[in-house]
Structure 1
């Protein structure tokens, strides 16, 4: 696993193993060589006992159906709004910079307050075309990112969302806070070459949170290239997804592995676990510039049951 240090996402550090169950979570947890070795052995065994080809086809060809069933089962009760996004990605908080509101400041420490591009597309009218700033979430689910972002920002922002589950999109549209004057959601499979209902170079920010991992690895590069075309010059993709050897990966049983580091869950949905290098290759091959690519290692604990859970995520930012 890449040992590159990441900036602090939290400020709770475990200095004494005897205090591990004092809090629910610890930040920047270093892995021992033994942990790394055990994780590699587990994933190697998973790959050696992978799912038979004839069973794989069902999950690969019917992915939208499994996600529909997932959202039909959980609806909007299973999820919590992602307010943590504003800590991890301060770009999502817009600050008024000028009296006439023609410019919006991107409140991001890593970019020294770089202004978002506000060049409007020359293409004809489309939902939100008159808005000063446009964000889009790929894999919007039931809106747990869309609605918190709209709440904290002003009328200059228009929010798009797409998901390849019709059920998820319907839940967003039926949400009591959904307003077509500030949001537009639609069904879209990013693994295909189907066109988006918005023109290229129209978006300031694209959000990809635990979504790219649902695709087969070989389809990820093409998907990101198509998404990158939607960004204005200067626009940014904000990415967070599962990292290699995350607890969720190590818990998979035999015959759940479809291919290296790609699995199907019990409900039929699929998930891939990334390395930093893979993320870098996917996004830079789409012509984007890397601004951040970090491993977020955390130790979560169940204090009542005295259980340790090692989580690994990759977080990144890539600018056009």
Structure 2
């Protein structure tokens, strides 16, 4: 068993607000009284059985020729996926604001924005500017640094405010969702968060998915910018400069790329965050029901599989994700396992889901060069 990857439940939350809901199965006889139970504890026998199942379905690997095809034609498989399912496959994720309150406006966010604005006003035309060496993503912009004041510099001494025009450049709070699909996270954010300073970016590997976002009746170009992007392509530029985002969201997307490319992708994304900015993740955990259901011959590499439609998925441990984020220079705020029991009361079936939720922050005092 993968040790800490399956530790969870109420005790693991250190007395803080219960995540993922608060419906606990204390009496096994009541299992079919509800559709789902939260933070379900696994017995040693159940964990051992899950590990055996994974070992069995991982023995036979996909041949190398096929593995190359799944990588080279990944965009085709995802485009086909969205052409088939379009808007009918996913539901809007209104649980987002319970688990990720950072996506909703808060007094703290407004206070910090007011501090910056007042600082700029008081400095007037003499606001110090410095030209810095830009990456290819930065497009040669000029940065403006907040004035040196004791009550501001502790939080913002390295915060860069880009003068270069880019989509959302006038916004005061910027969110990027990577792997946005058809907008089931983006649109609830835009509908719920009416902050006039909010701007939401969203990108996906699939051009079909982005087309569905852009043609959605709720898509507002004045508040949102959707674009096609390959998370693993180091040569492809982002439309916003480094150090410009407050939040980056990754929901069931990191698991879709080759494990060997994950670290560079996360490190590159971390450079887009402002000091103090946060990366939010929710993804598949080791021994999730979906992993146990794979048949022999669908395994690409350890804990990495291909589905019948050609799309791929990886199943994480907490430690793996912690290493990815901390290696990118981010600090842990949250790293939790959500082990949920879902039931089909009509068929009297039980299904165990394992998801991991993470929040990692870019240090306030960092080297932005």
SS of the equivalent of 1:148 reads helix
Pairwise CA distance, 1:55? 1.7
**1:150-299 residue pairs with structure 2 within 5 A?**
150-153=190-193, 154-193=195-234, 194-299=236-341
Report which stretch shifted further, 92-101 or 207-216.
92-101
Q: Which has the higher helix share?
A: 2
| C-alpha spacing 1:99/1:190, structure 2 compared with 1 (3 Å) | closer
Deviation at 1:102, TM superposition (A): 3.0
Measure, in 1, the Cα distance between the counterparts of 2:111 and 2:314.
46
> Could you say which residue in structure 1 is the equivalent of 2:128?
none
Alpha-carbon distance in 2 for matches of 1:99, 1:41: 52
Does 1:80 pair with 2:120? no
The equivalent residue for 1:143 is 183
Runs of 4+ in 1 over 4 A off after TM superposition: 96-101, 116-120
Within a 5 Å distance, the mapping from 1:4-15 to structure 2 comes to 4=8, 5-6=12-13, 8-9=18-19, 10-15=21-26
Alignment partner of 1:91 out of 66, 83, 102: 102
Does residue 130 of structure 1 match 2:141?
no
Give the Cα separation in 2 of the matches to 1:35 and 1:119: 48
For 2:88 and 2:69, locate their aligned partners in 1 and report how far apart those are by CA, in whole Å. Answer: 28
Contact 2:162 2:244 in 1 (8 A): no
SS at match of 1:48: coil
Once residues 177 and 27 of structure 1 are traced to their aligned partners in structure 2, the CA distance between those partners, rounded to angstroms, is 33
Q: CA deviation at 1:78?
A: 1.7
1:83-127 alpha-carbon deviations (Å, 9 max, x no partner) = 0111111111113566997369xxxxxxxxxxx979562251000
> What TM-score, normalized to structure 1?
0.93
- Give 2:114's aligned residue: 102
Helix, strand or coil at the partner of 2:242: coil
* Residue 151 (structure 2) aligns with: none
Distance 2:88 2:35 in 1: 23
Alignment correspondent of 2:343: 301
Structure 1 residue runs without a partner (length 5+)? 105-115
What residue in structure 2 maps to residue 112 of structure 1? none
Counterpart CA distance in 1 for 2:34 and 2:262 is 37
TM-score of the aligned structures, taking structure 2 as reference length: 0.81
Q: How many matched pairs?
A: 310
1:15-54 Cα distance to aligned partner (Å, 9 max, x none) = 1111100100111111111111111111111221121222
Structure 2: gaps of 5 or more residues: 117-154, 363-369
Structure number with bigger Rg: 2
Of 8-17 and 167-176, the range deviating more from structure 2: 8-17
| 1:29 aligned partner | 40
Equivalent residue number for residue 65 of structure 1: 76
